[in-house]
Amino acid sequence: MSESLSQPPVPVGPEPGPVSCWLSQQGFEHKVLDLDHLGIEVIGVEPLFLQVIAAALKAHGFDYLQCQGGYDEGPGQQLVCFYHLVSMSELLATSVTAKLREVRLKVFLPREGSPSVPSLYGLFRGADWQERETFDMFGIVFDGHPHPKRLLMPEDWKGWPLRKDYVQPDFYEMQDAY
């Protein structure tokens, strides 16, 4: 009879990984997300705290920004800006068979208006062209970026070609091409 009165199981979220535990110990608010397809820890970060958390992780050994990019969850949904950080100094100081420490950060942004995040160019110079490409394709503005202009599309291009709600123009005429 006690089985029929038992409460339904409470849904359990993803277990915090070592980086998430360290961030919690340091007092940084973040969201624990599911591991990615390779088993790498993924952490959700609010745009306001991105630079502070990235700086803390860099001081904690994640000294290399391997990749920065963006993606669109679909029409009417959020845009996502992601960062893949790696601890290269630890890898170089240990044997070749040592496990690489990696973490991914994700910032979820509304697609309306002008979605923006702080630039990580000041921490990782490699963010320069990666942030420009993300701006160019998705319209995510990187506040504080030293060269905030299009990288792949012409400066006068309208819209963000990799957004899933993008409508391709019938044609584009290049002016002053020669």
Query: What confidence category does residue 48 fall into, taking pLDDT thresholds of 50, 70 and 90?
Result: very high
Average pLDDT of the chain to the nearest whole number:
89
Distances (CA, A) of 176 to 53, 120, 149, 151, 154: 44, 34, 19, 18, 12
CATH assignment, 18-143? 3.30.460.80
User: Does this model's pTM top 0.95?
Assistant: no
What's the confidence (pLDDT) of residue 89?
77
Q: Kindly tell me if the per-residue pLDDT of 1 is higher than 90.
A: no
Q: At what angle do helices 50-59 and 18-25 cross, to 10 degrees?
A: 110
What would the pLDDT profile of 98-119 be if each residue is shown by its tens digit?
Answer: 678 999 999 999 999 899 999 9
